[in-house]
Chain A
């Protein structure tokens, strides 16, 4: 039996698997979210800077949890394009250099000094409303 025939059989099988699986593959895995998703992204940014600057994985994992216990995540809708001012919060954290990361430590007032972050997390003195469902919190300006 010639090689070409065998290869063609294999390719047919491959295509068949892809097509059969396309039921799952057709699910694009997309969820509509509001600005609370930016809170998770900011937390992740803080973790990234902590890891890059300290090489301490435990600290990089725990520091975002501390922020979550201290600040209320705000929600609201996000405008199209890259004009939404809240996008600048993660960017501002990414721009913090390693000297500052070490100085900031767990002082989140220092991590979140960029004005854009005021619309992502509530001020520290606002506390945490444990009963609030962050996903339904639309307190932030759109």
Chain B
């Protein structure tokens, strides 16, 4: 299958859901103002999510943990499939202009743009050795209808399926036409376990290296993603992950580095990636989860580029919401629900139109646990200003996000 054919299919699936900005202007097509700063930020958002965080997040949080010795009664071998769709509504705003002037319709508007992402992972383990392959795509468009906003999260799942089939052949994706953008990336690698410690390494399709080390009993971990042709440490996180401390309380304590890349520069009709390094966003996180099997408390402090309170949230949830990650998932029927509220702040960055300041953060999560045949959880999250989203899209403010997905045991 030719790459251009696939691009056409993907663009078409998004363009079909494009709509007019007002009912009376249904025939008017709006496109980003050429060369505008807002369009450059939107372009960066599409690429940043698809090219790095979508695939790394799925690998780190879903696929690798499932490969370890907790996915079932059979310790010798396992195979898992992971699928998730993420949607961010109003990830940013940009200027749009009508392609053709019309007296009844505005020529010039400022519009939210959305991001639709999906990740798909396959992994298999035999004894101490595992192989994994995770792909991620993200699509964005400058304006959306209600129908498009409902259907695009599902369409993203179909798109990632296509990309998964061809990613090793075509490499990372990057296509942008009339403000509709799709990009994709993948990580393919292996994991080996020695004496309870897992070592994972993977090749990032956009030319980079992913590594992950985790010690299961001590709950120590470290992950890195080196990108830009192995030149930039774009992602690093290390510390304790859900260590059981007092009674049922799980404690996470970790440091994280993200890079806020400057937007691409618009020259001669296309976006050119800047060669300069981005702004490092170092944060320190302390999370006390499952307090009395009922409450969570999460704090994070930003260290660079400015010292600030990045994240402060409290949560309440049902008893089965958190599970001890050192224990095997065994047959269990039921589900769980959780709710969080607090504040989140991203460093001021005028180049991204990020004004800084504290924002209200709210998140609701529903989980369905497996009994048979499913390896992980089926989950559904609806959030407003989710710190996980804002820290990876530093231009975003007051955004709704929605994700759903799950992990399935195939063997």
Contacts and interface: CB of A to CB of B under 8 A. Distances in A.
A48 B37 contact: yes
A138 interface: no
A97 to B, nearest CB: 10
A130 to B, nearest CB: 22
A17 interface: yes
Contacts of A49: 265
B353 A44 contact: yes
Interface stretch (B65-73, B107-115, B202-210): B107-115
Contacts of B5: none
A128 interface: no
A132 interface: no
A57 B305 contact: yes
A14 B111 contact: no
B350 A94 contact: no
B373 A94 contact: no
A7 B86 CA distance: 18
Interface residues of B, number: 68
Interface of B is mostly: mixed
B274 interface: yes
Contact of A25 (B89, B276, B378): B89
A116 to B, nearest CB: 11
17 contacts: A18-B153, A18-B402, A26-B145, A28-B111, A29-B90, A30-B22, A34-B108, A41-B95, A44-B38, A44-B41, A44-B350, A47-B350, A78-B97, A80-B101, A80-B102, A81-B101, A90-B37
Interface of B: 19, 21-22, 31, 33-38, 40-41, 89-90, 93, 95, 97-102, 106-112, 143-146, 149-150, 153, 262-263, 265-267, 274, 276-277, 279, 305, 333, 347-351, 353, 366, 368, 370-374, 378, 380, 382, 400, 402, 404, 406, 408
